[in-house]
Amino acid sequence: MKVLVHNRGVCLECAGCVGVCPKMALDMYGLDLQIDQEKCIKCGLCTRACPAGALKIQELNDVL
């Protein structure tokens, strides 16, 4: 199972990823990016839109 992982340490908080998500699985609350893993289809558009490389699609086993 794949998940979208957000690295807050490198995130620029630009919200560029939010606007490209076709399923509206990403949202900014203040400076905090929220990911709805159930809506996310792991298409990779947000990972390509992120100028800092703060988003990655990874296997769940690699995250835990």
Q: Is 9 exposed, middle or buried (0-12, 13-18, 19+ CB in 10 A)?
A: exposed
pTM of the model: 0.90
Average confidence (pLDDT) over 31-60: 97
Query: pLDDT tens for residues 17-37?
Result: 999 999 999 999 998 999 999
pLDDT-based confidence at residue 51 (cuts at 50, 70, 90): very high
Could you tell me the residue ranges of all domains in the chain? 2-63
Assigned CATH topology for domain 2-63: Alpha-Beta Plaits (3.30.70)
- What is the predicted pLDDT for the residue at 61? 85
31 against 57, higher pLDDT: 57
Task: Give the pLDDT score at 64.
Answer: 64
